[in-house]
Structure 1
Amino acid sequence: MFTNAKVDAFTAWHDLLINPELELDSQERYDELLKLADGFQAEGIIDSHERRTLIEVATVAYTRAVTAEVCEK
């Protein structure tokens, strides 16, 4: 079931994931995404499965960003 809090949480997390205007490097963005996922679970907005999924998506995005950075050098 999706509550307004859950929709808002997923929206905030997704915005952080894809917003290139935020001046964060790959590591900072990854850390912030993990903090958000942990906070959402701690607040009871998402369950452990949803948290794990967010972390997996953040990890893939981080890996791609770091790989792109390495390839540019």
Structure 2
Amino acid sequence: MKEERKQEALATWNKLLEDPEIRMGAEEQYDELLKMADAMEQGGLITAAEWRQLVRKAGEMFAQATEGLEGGT
């Protein structure tokens, strides 16, 4: 049961990573991904190492989404 909940939560997280909701900016998407990762870890669905992987992936997405915005390119 716990493994099933974990897989569902990770699938939802990855869906948001790959396909953000309409009108969701990169910062809002990043914040939501972090909240979801925190909830999974606090709920005992993922380990601290898995949490770090999710946070790293979210950070990479955010960096790619905002790349060029700050430099005016």
Q: TM-score range with shorter-chain normalisation?
A: 0.7 to 0.9
Residue aligning to 1:4 = 4
Residue 62 of structure 1 deviates from its aligned partner by 0.3
Residue aligning to 2:58 = 58
Deviations 1:18-69 (A, max 9, x none): 1144321000000000000000001111010000000000000000000154
Residue aligning to 1:43 = 43
In structure 1, C-alpha distance between the alignment counterparts of 2:35 and 2:21, rounded to whole Å: 20
Relative to the length of structure 1, the TM-score reads 0.86
Structure 2 letter corresponding to 1:43: G
Residue aligning to 2:34 = 34
Which shifted more, 19-28 or 6-15? Answer: 19-28
SS where residue 46 of structure 1 aligns? coil
Q: CA RMSD in A?
A: 1.9
Point out the structure with the larger helix share. 1
Identity in percent: 32
Aligned length: 72
Unaligned stretches of 5+ residues in structure 2: none
In structure 1, C-alpha distance between the alignment counterparts of 2:42 and 2:21, rounded to whole Å: 28
Unaligned stretches of 5+ residues in structure 1: none
In structure 1, C-alpha distance between the alignment counterparts of 2:70 and 2:48, rounded to whole Å: 32
| C-alpha spacing 1:25/1:56, structure 2 compared with 1 (3 Å) | same
